[in-house]
A = this chain, B = another copy of it.
Amino acid sequence: MKVAVMGYGTVGSGVVEVIDTHKEIIKKRTGGETLEVSHILDLRDFPGDSHESLFTKDFNDILNDPEVKVVAETMGGVEPAYTFTMKLLKAGKSVITSNKELVAQKGLELLDAAEESGANYLFEASVGGGIPIIRPMSQCLAANNIEGVAGILNGTTNFILTKMIEDGMTFEDALKLAQDNGYAEKDPTADIEGFDACRKVCILASLAFGKHVYPNQVETEGITNITLEDVSYISSIGVIKLLGQIKYISDDKIAAFVSPAVVQHGSQLASVNGVFNAILVRGDAVGDVCFYGPGAGKLPTASAVVADMVDAAKHINRKKIFGWSAGAEDYVVDYKESISVPFYVRAIADSHKIQSVFGEVKYLSRFGQPSKEIAFITDEMTENELKKKLEGIEVINTIKVTNY
């Protein structure tokens, strides 16, 4: 079967490589069908590339080739990926994507278009790189009411936090190391401010509960406020991770947010280190299940794209699984008002003051702790309640504590 690849960057070139090097297993998995890359769309030139004859700069070459039935979109960004994908789906061609930004922003429209034409729009690679998560959530956990999802969804920030926790590196040094290793972009904003994790939360939330969630509905906080002092206080009870969290509230209300969080020792999420990702799903029947693996990288992500291409090739003219509807304006609640958790608090205060406001708390200590500094874990409360209690106290940092 002829297939096309749009975008020959890291993931796109990986897709072509995986198709080239895995002909046998692909044939086995499709039940005899092979994938033959017939077009690669990219505006850049790749002189000397072994696939040079396949390159085109004209999207219409792909759109108008009736033999191309499955297209991988590995361009990234909303435009022109959105326009291209929409045209392909309307033409009845299946599109496979690793583009989390596009799925998070426009997934609903694109799935509707696929629904209408009978094509498939598959996006396993858009969350958790090579980790199987979309199918397990939508199929294997089909007999569960999902109560919550918590994920380490961004490898760059997890690498930085791991270096801070295990090697005592400062945030700035760890970020620089991540950049030197190619784990972080020159402009690391999307990673360290949590925007990348936010997009993945949107996709997971849409899947888990069947209503589209947009990035601007997900309160997002990055890791730039985390210091080695916080890491040190927390080390006796757990580790700090950047978590995307989704919680079921009612059939037409959920909470969804991205923030640093204290994950306690013993949690499956606590041992996820470096650039690895993990996603924990809590179902009412199954309990906690957790999926772990490389959250990014050329071949892991490409292998997830190609697995979806194999699936689409097997299901030509047959609608696959996923679909969700629009949520109401107020579908995602303000978690600061609705979700109660314990908090880590670090402040300049004395323990009498803290006790008078919070009652009994669990104090934490660190090596070199200044005499006026205090750190502790509160009882469960909402973030708004916490803010009120902390009025008049000189707060240095607060971090949510999870029960995952």
Contact = CB atoms under 8 A, between A and B. Distances in A.
B135 A139 contact: yes
A182 interface: no
A307 B135 contact: no
B142 A132 contact: no
Interface in A265-291: 266, 268, 270-273, 283, 285-291
A121 interface: no
A108 to B, nearest CB: 17
A311 interface: yes
A338 interface: no
A29 B141 CA distance: 10
A210 interface: yes
Interface in A150-180: none
Contacts of A285: 18, 22, 130, 299-300, 302-303
Contacts of A271: 266, 268, 270-271
A311 B143 contact: no
A102 B38 CA distance: 45
A265 to B, nearest CB: 9
A131 B26 CA distance: 25
A53 to B, nearest CB: 24
A144 interface: yes
Given A289-B293, A292-B290, A310 B132 contact: no
A142 B26 contact: yes
Contact of A273 (B19, B145, B266): B266
A210 B140 contact: no
A306 interface: yes
A352 interface: no
Interface in A108-142: 124, 130-132, 135-136, 138-142
Contacts of A18: 143, 285
A25 interface: yes
Copies in the complex: 2
A347 to B, nearest CB: 32
- Counting chain A residues whose Cβ lies within 8 A of the other chain, the interface size class is 35 or more
Interface string A292-335: 11100101101110110111000000100000000000000000
B139 A307 contact: yes
Contact of A293 (B286, B293, B306): B286
A28 interface: yes
A235 to B, nearest CB: 16
B303 A143 contact: yes
A300 B297 CA distance: 33
B304 A140 contact: yes
A291 B286 CA distance: 13
A289 B124 CA distance: 14
Contacts of A210: 28
Interface of A: 18-19, 22, 25-26, 28-29, 124, 130-132, 135-136, 138-145, 210, 266, 268, 270-273, 283, 285-294, 297, 299-300, 302-304, 306-307, 309-311, 318
Given A289-B293, A289-B294, A318-B318, 5 more contacts: A19-B143, A130-B285, A135-B139, A283-B303, A285-B299
Question: Which 6 A-B pairs rank lowest in CB-CB distance, beginning with the nearest?
Answer: A132-B140, A289-B293, A143-B306, A285-B303, A130-B286, A132-B136
25 contacts: A18-B285, A19-B143, A26-B142, A26-B143, A29-B143, A130-B287, A132-B135, A132-B140, A132-B289, A135-B135, A140-B307, A143-B302, A143-B307, A143-B309, A285-B299, A285-B300, A286-B293, A287-B293, A287-B300, A288-B294, A289-B291, A289-B293, A290-B291, A291-B291, A292-B292
